[in-house]
Every structure is written in C-alpha cells, then in structure tokens.
Amino acid sequence: MSIFGNILSKIFPSSHAAPAPSTAPAAPAPAPAATSAAATPAAAPPPAIPLVDVAAVLDAMPGAKSLNWRTSIVDLMKLLGLDSSLAARKELAAELSYGEDTSDSAKMNIWLHRQVMTKLAANGGTVPAELRD
C-alpha cells in the first residue's frame, strides 16, 4: 500500500479508506416489457460518503498533545504510527508528484504537509482551511 494510502487508512473508517477502482458488476438489463417513462425508475444516487473531521480524529489519538501534527509532516506520520524517516518522506513526495529538489527537506516537508491535508479533504475529510493549500 502506498504511504498516502496508509495515511488514509489510519484516519478514515475502513469503509472509506483509499478509493479503489470500480469493479462492480454491470447492472442487469431492464425487462423489455416496460416502455413507459413512468414505469422506469430513476437511477438511484450513489450513497453519500460520510465526512470525517480529520482534526478531531487526529486530536483524539494517543500522543496527539505532544506532537505538532498540524504543521509537521514528521509529527503527523509519527502520530499515525508510520515511518517518518527522510527516505519515507521522499517516497511520499514522489507518490504525490513533488516537482522540486528533495534535498531541501524543510521546503519538501511544508509542501508534503499541505498536500496531505489537501488530499485528505479531497477524499472526504473535513480539514481546517489553514491546513490546506
């Protein structure tokens, strides 16, 4: 699993973890007997994805009070029990398409934190605006 996938799985319920490609079987063809528009039911909307308050989930984790996860990608990864080494952060940067030089780890870390928060929001998380791009 990707590093961002691991982050998602730690924050979101298992039913909402990393989005997977759709492999649902095709719906059966409707019976040819009904041709009236009134007899044809409208397609049901997809089920709503419950929003997850990311800050509340992270604040409730053991150790959250002693880590600065709101501004530090290293502390965020530590809080989630993930490898926060430079090598792991460089791997996450590659996964999230960081286009800069990874030898400037301070710049990369700031970018990573913002990108992770933005992507959490894009995947159904409620993330405070000051933590996103």
Q: Is residue 75 part of a domain?
A: yes
The residue range of the domain holding 74 is 69-133
pLDDT tier for residue 73 given thresholds of 50, 70 and 90: very high
51: confidence class by pLDDT, cuts 50, 70, 90: confident
Which segments of 1-104 does DSSP mark as H helices, in order? 3-11, 54-59, 73-79, 86-95
Report if residue 62 sits inside a domain.
no
Is 37 within a domain?
no
In terms of Cβ atoms closer than 10 Å to its own Cβ (0-12, 13-18, 19+), residue 31 is exposed
Asked whether residue 3 is assigned to any structural domain, the reply reads no
Backbone angles phi and psi of 37, in degrees to 5: -65, -35
Identify whether 34 is part of a domain: no
Q: How confident is the model at residue 1 (pLDDT cuts 50, 70, 90)?
A: confident
pTM for this predicted structure:
0.73
Residue 119 lies in a domain: yes
Q: Tell me how many domains the chain contains.
A: 1
Distance CA 68, CA 47 (A): 35
How far is 125 from 9, CA to CA, in rounded Å?
A: 12
